[in-house]
Every structure is written in C-alpha cells, then in structure tokens.
Homo-oligomer: A and B are copies of this chain.
C-alpha cells in the first residue's frame, strides 16, 4: 500500500521517540530530527512506509553510534513474553474446541508487544482481555481448508516478544514444515536471527533471514533463496502492520495476521482501531 499523508507526522513522532530512546543528549536528538525531516520531505521517493521508517531509524543509529538501540527492549519483551507463555498454553487448553482460531488469535495478540507504537509493553493483566477479544476479520475457515493439504508454512515475523507468541502457533501446527523469516539486521524492535533463537523458535521452525532489514518485508530487496521460500511455501502468514504495508499487492496468497494500530491501516482494511485481523489478500483486495 502507498504512503499516506497521515504517515508523515507519525514518522516524525517515531523519529523523536527513537532518538530519545537512543540518546539522552538533546543536541543529538535535534540533529536526528533535522535529518528525519529531510527524509520525510523526500517521502515520495520511497515505495512503502517501512522504507521511510528504516531510513529514519538508520539515522538514529548513525547519530548515536548504536547499531541496535532497541536491543534491551527486545530482550525485555522476549523475557516478558516467556513469562506469559504458560498462560498462553493454558488459554489454548481452555479454548481447544476451536483450537485453530484461538491459536491464530494468540499469535495475533503477540502483536501488542510493539514498541514502535505502544512505547512500552502492554501490562500483563491486559493480556487476558486482549486474548479473549475476537478477530474483526477472520479467514481461519479458509486457512483450515488449505491446511488439510499444506505441507509447508512460511511465517514472516514482526517484533521481538511477539516471536514467543508465534512459537505457540508453530507448536500447534505440528504437521507442517515451518520456516520463520526474520529481518536481516536490527531495525526498531523487529526480530532478527538473535531474537528468534532467544524466543526458542528454532525448536519448531527453521529460522531464516529474509535479507531485508526494513521494518516491513520489501520482497524485491530479499535474497533469492528467501524469494524461493516465499513462492514455494504452501501457506504464508505475514505478521504485523509493517509487513502488511509492503506485501498487500504481492502476487501470491498471503494471510495477514495483525492488530490494527494506526488509522492508515484501519482505513485500508476497513476495521476499527485495535481490531484483530486474520485475512487473505485474495479475499479482501
């Protein structure tokens, strides 16, 4: 999907948040914001919002010398997610009649662990409410049908911490050969190889780098072997808003699993803020 004008103030807000997270020095923050403004002014030379996001977060890295400003936050989110992991399994035990729906819902709920939007991790006590909340759009019946003959599943990961919730999904889909794709380098709080291993996703999936380090998978930038995986997989699940933004027009079926957290996304999908979505690009575009 294209970059909307509403994204522009949000880019600047993200630049400010990231600069403050990475440096307490206001002069550094000011320099980052100055350069971020230049990037934002040039927004129409980018195809997707996550590409602008990457450019902005790269500025933060350049100005602060930190290669991974969100490293600690990512680790904290994974620890937090691991603490609630037993609750997730318990939740699924109590929802075993419609196990696939609720397993997908668990993976979608992991998407609340998004520092780029929330600023801080959702409180544990809110988790239950979020878990119980149903999908606003759900193509799980269609997904279930395809699951009967599918042998391989590619999951395109999103944030660190959310990865632990995705592990629950991978555990439930026992019969599939699962590939879990991550960013090729640190970008915001997105998962890289490191965080995927820290989340113990390797127990249930083969972890691969997509070759792209934008906070949304830009297929044309990906490594050839990833692109092969992408087109070869019987099923593809794309997690989060960033991947949605870059993959909506792609030439194969993708199931998007996300929580809608910004007005541009809610408008595009046709849901309301905070809604959970599991939808195929074949049904809704």
Interface residues of A (CB under 8 A from B): 5-6, 8-10, 12-13, 16, 19, 26, 29-30, 33-34, 37-38, 40-41, 44
Contacts and interface: CB of A to CB of B under 8 A. Distances in A.
A8 B29 contact: no
B41 A34 contact: yes
A34 B5 CA distance: 10
Chain A interface secondary structure, helix, strand, loop or mixed? helix
A44 B29 CA distance: 13
A16 B5 contact: yes
A6 B19 CA distance: 12
Contacts of A12: 8-9, 12, 40
Choose among A12, A16, A19, A38 the residue with the greatest number of B CB atoms under 10 Å from its CB.
Answer: A12
B16 A33 contact: no
A28 to B, nearest CB: 11
A143 to B, nearest CB: 36
- The residue in A8, A13, A29 that gathers the most chain B C-beta atoms within 10 A of its C-beta is A8
11 contacts: A5-B16, A5-B19, A5-B26, A5-B30, A5-B33, A8-B33, A9-B10, A9-B13, A37-B37, A37-B40, A41-B41
Given A5-B29, A12-B40, 8 more contacts: A5-B33, A6-B16, A9-B9, A9-B10, A9-B13, A12-B12, A37-B41, A38-B41
Nearest to A35: B41
Contacts of A33: 5, 8
A154 to B, nearest CB: 35
A181 B279 CA distance: 57
A6 to B, nearest CB: 7
A38 to B, nearest CB: 6
A44 to B, nearest CB: 8
A38 B162 CA distance: 37
Nearest to A17: B9
Nearest to A13: B9
Contacts of A30: 5, 44
